[in-house]
Amino acid sequence: MNIQLHQKKVFFASDFHLGAPNETSSTIREKKIIRWLNSIEDEAAAIFLVGDIFDFWFEYDKVIPKGFIRFMGKIADLRDKNIPIVFFTGNHDLWMKDYFTKELGIPVYHHPIEMEIENKKFLIGHGDGLGPGDETYKILKKLFTNPFCKWLFKWLHPDLGMRIAHKWSSNSRLANNNKNEHEFKGNDEWLWEYCKEMDKRQHFDYYIFGHRHLPLELEVGKSSTYINLGEWVNQNTFGVFDGEKVTLKTFDK
Ligand SMILES: [Mn+2]
């Protein structure tokens, strides 16, 4: 994928968690995301949505989850206007397959990707399971991505499967909220650690991740920056690359 800026900008956002914690608050958030997309579309050379777009997503062979129709409509509208959009899966929506690719021409990445935009090197990904720590999740991810487990889940009736998944998702969120997860952990920021280790082997100008739910802009090396995109449940933060620099901003309209 080759992105040309032509005086435009590249936008990054993650962790919309559409669907959570309930329909009412998700719909308010969904409309805000659409206002944001409306506000950037004229100057967007590309839009990267970096995982946990949906609080839960599963693609059956012939069925996708209900909901998010305004968001999907807006995404389709942007694609019809030829604006490149790139999806990454997060730990909440890792069961995306090729629906968005087939329907809208949106590539869906399940791993971080390297990309060069205007002579800057980017490493972009959701960030789950990278760096030290998060051992429980690393084991769970193996289970979640196991083809046999996915096959079993697929054959549960969607009403039952989705109910189980939502219960699981809300439990894991509650557990996270109890642990002061959203405070800056200094040298224990796993993704920051990951960037520092990576930069010793291969240099990137920008490391762009989500997952952490905490907007961060941290120096990795001399000319290298780790950006965490934050989230949209409370903070509505996003990244903008103008060809020179990535800036973190807040959408407050
Ligand atoms: Mn998340």
Give me the percent of the chain exceeding a pLDDT of 90: 81
175: tokens are: 């557990």
pLDDT given for residue 106 in this prediction? 98
- Cα(62)–Cα(47) distance, rounded to whole angstroms? 27
* Global confidence as pTM: 0.95
Q: Please state the domain count of the chain.
A: 1
pLDDT tens digits for range 177-204? 555 678 899 888 999 999 999 999 999 9
Task: List the CATH number of the domain containing 45.
Answer: 3.60.21.10
Whether 83 contacts 44, CB under 8 Å: yes
pLDDT tens digits for range 26-75? 999 999 999 999 999 999 999 999 999 999 999 999 999 999 999 999 99
The answer to whether residue 207 scores a pLDDT higher than 70 is: yes
Q: How far is the centre of ligand 1, averaged over its atoms, from the C-alpha of 230 (Å)?
A: 9
Task: Note whether residue 4 is domain-resident.
Answer: no
Phi, psi (deg, nearest 5) at residue 209: -135, 160
Residue of 124, 139, 37, 137 lying closest to 92 (CA atoms)? 137
Output the average pLDDT for the chain.
93
DSSP 183: S
For 174, other C-beta atoms within 10 Å of its C-beta total 10
Whether 112 contacts 140, CB under 8 Å: no
The answer to whether residue 174 scores a pLDDT higher than 80 is: no
Q: Domain of 48? A: 9-250
DSSP-derived secondary structure for 185-232? -GGG-HHHHHHHHHHHHS--SEEEE-SS-S-EEEEEETTEEEEE---T
Task: Compute the average pLDDT of residues 141-162.
Answer: 92
Q: How far is the centre of ligand 1, averaged over its atoms, from the C-alpha of 126 (Å)?
A: 9
Q: How far is the centre of ligand 1, averaged over its atoms, from the C-alpha of 128 (Å)?
A: 9
Q: How far is the centre of ligand 1, averaged over its atoms, from the C-alpha of 211 (Å)?
A: 5
Q: How far is the centre of ligand 1, averaged over its atoms, from the C-alpha of 12 (Å)?
A: 14
- Cα(66)–Cα(54) distance, rounded to whole angstroms? 11
Task: Compute the average pLDDT of residues 136-156.
Answer: 90
88: tokens are: 């990454």
Task: Note whether residue 2 is domain-resident.
Answer: no
Whether 81 contacts 37, CB under 8 Å: no
Task: Note whether residue 210 is domain-resident.
Answer: yes
Give residue 170's pLDDT band: very low, low, confident or very high (50, 70, 90): confident
150: tokens are: 């996915």
- Cα(49)–Cα(28) distance, rounded to whole angstroms? 19
The answer to whether residue 7 scores a pLDDT higher than 70 is: yes
